[in-house]
Amino acid sequence: MISWLKTILSRTRPVSRTRGRPPILPEGAAEQRYAALADHWALAEPKFYTPAHDEDGITALEMRYGIRLPPEFRAYLSIAAPRHQFMDNETISWWSVRDIKSLAEECASWEPGWGGDAVEAEQHGYLVFADYLIWCWAWAICCVEGPHYGRIAVIRGSPPDTFVADDLSAFIGMALHDDPRIH
């Protein structure tokens, strides 16, 4: 992490007690994985993280964009998504249900040709749910039925945007371990 950013963050956030020890998310049901993630975030950042459990917001999100959320993403939003935008120890800001936007809405001012063909063509059905270091880049999940449904793409604002994980569980596992493949 950049030294000036460490200095700023050290003034505003306590150093995590679990730094360097990301949780091992259990195999099996998504509910168990996301409960473990919520527990990890709550332990690491008790003053800054509270899960939202915002079922009304999740339903409103689907209705607003006319999409059906991938079941695993819905489970994450129901169990672990933060009440307010939350920056973890890897400087990933995880968006609250109410902050999540479609890629088309979030990047409306971008010129055509900004992304990879697969992502840009279906941008209305991709939801931006997290960003890195105050929007150096972001991640969006495909909510359009088809070959990319549930996959996670990194959005940089210049081609090519690429898929970095086949599902949210894989992405979160990579994010918790600061895997360079998600960047």
28-182 is a CATH 3.40.1580.10 domain: yes
The Cα–Cα gap between 41 and 62 comes to 26
Query: Beta strands 126-132 and 152-155: pairing type?
Result: unpaired
Residue predicted with more confidence, 50 or 114: 50
Q: What ranges do the domains of the chain cover?
A: 28-182
Higher-pLDDT residue of 27, 123: 123
Give residue-wise pLDDT tens across range 81-116: 999 999 998 899 999 999 999 999 998 877 776 666
CA-closest candidate to residue 141, choices 114, 112, 110, 172: 172
Check whether 20 has a pLDDT greater than 70: no
**Greater model confidence, 14 or 97:** 97
127, 111 Cβ separation under 8 angstroms: no
